[in-house]
Amino acid sequence: MQLEDKMPADNAHTDLETPTITVYKKTGEGVNADEFTLDGKKVDQKSAAREEAERIYNQPFMDLLYQAQTVHRENFDPNQVQRSKLLSIKTGGCAEDCAYCSQSARNGSKLSASKLMEVQAVLAEAQKAKEGGASRYCMGAAWRSPKERDMAVLEAMVQGVKEMGMETCMTLGMLEDEQIHRLKDAGLDYYNHNIDTSERYYSEIITTRTFADRISTLNRVREAGIKVCAGGIVGMGEKQMDRIDMLLTLASLDEHPDSVPINMLIPMEDTPLAEVQKLDPIEFVRTIALARILMPRSHVRLSAGRTDMTDELQAMCFFAGANSIFVGDTLLTADNPDEDKDAVLFNKLGITAMAVGCDGKK
């Protein structure tokens, strides 16, 4: 099965060429594409898509921003941003070896492991998030995958948040098919499972789970009728082409993810990436812009790393097509701007928050 995504054409005020990128159906084991057509010629899918995406990414910065903003305006209200709240419902002691994560038991982190939170404690935090203006509540657990003993509690959390009138999201690692359907039946709207980086660079970041494992989880979640939230992390020492390839992988899923979180690495003490060199902010904006152009109807989330971003950098990211953020002063174990600071920024920029049930799409 072949899917063709055409980039929305620029309006009459520009001569910039808008590319057509053809993407292909994936299987649980990864990419199964042989060729596609570019400029009337059949070419290797990967190399041609990379070439075109690299051209978009590296075009003059103002042209890139203009193209991304044009695509954004054709698909969304440019002055609305979706707000989510993320809570760590089980912290530390994770068996995975993700090089960026302070919750990994393999990284020598001093962070102590906690038990899964009680349902009422999670719902109390969800109520605070709703009162603070969040329209989606995301719950994350630090483990490889949930155990059978955890499922009833997780289902109760989803049901409780859903009854508050909020959208529900969870990130729990890999899931069995039965677990996916139980969460769906409980009312889960979104499942987050980031691919982290490109397939090439992936083994430099994590070895305890394969890239294909992640693609398989995303496909099975989508097939069960749960919306997919999938993005990655930049600034982990990867090359520019890795950032481009990561976005091409997401854009080549059976359907584009409903949400695409783009995280700027927050170097955490005692992790292998604690001393990694910071990514240039302009490169980060280019990544946001390419995500918007490749996935026009997805919510692109300006995710972790905002604490170290200036108002000007965040504003540039919104202009490049970001239209979702996490609110609250903590993201799992990392800092995040508090809600008062976000309110001031939104007021400066004339941005309003999307209401529950409103996706901001045209």
Catalytic residue among 243, 292, 301, 306: 301
Surface-to-core class of residue 264, CB atoms within 10 Å of its CB (0-12 exposed, 13-18 middle, 19+ buried): buried
Q: Give the DSSP letter of residue 306.
A: G
CA–CA gap between residue 263 and residue 56 (Å, rounded): 21
Q: Does residue 229 have an active-site annotation?
A: yes
Tell me the C-alpha distance between 64 and 292, whole Å: 11
Catalytic residue among 138, 209, 214, 306: 138
Question: Helix 240-251 to helix 281-294 angle, to the nearest 10 degrees?
Answer: 20
- Residue 358 annotated to the active site: no
Q: How far apart are CA 296 and CA 291, in angstroms?
A: 8
Reply yes or no on whether 301 is catalytic.
yes
358 is in an annotated binding site: no
User: How many Å apart are CA 362 and CA 353, to the nearest integer?
Assistant: 16
From the list 83, 209, 229, 317, the catalytic residue is 229
Please say if 98 is a catalytic residue. Answer: yes
Closest C-alpha among 159, 116, 166 to residue 140? 116
Indicate the helix (H) or strand (E) that contains 275: none
Tell whether 98 is in a known binding site: yes
Instruction: Mention every residue, 6+ apart, whose C-beta is less than 8 A from residue 142.
Output: 88, 90, 91, 92, 93, 94, 101, 103, 113, 332
The answer to whether residue 73 is catalytic is: no
- Residue 301 among known ligand-binding residues: yes
Cα distance between residue 57 and residue 142, in whole Å: 34
Tell me whether residue 83 is one of the annotated catalytic residues.
Answer: no
Annotated catalytic sites, by residue? 94, 98, 101, 138, 169, 229, 301
Query: Residues forming the annotated binding site for [2Fe-2S] cluster?
Result: 138, 169, 229, 301
- Which residues are annotated binding-site positions? 94, 98, 101, 138, 169, 229, 301
For the annotated binding site for [4Fe-4S] cluster, the residues are 94, 98, 101
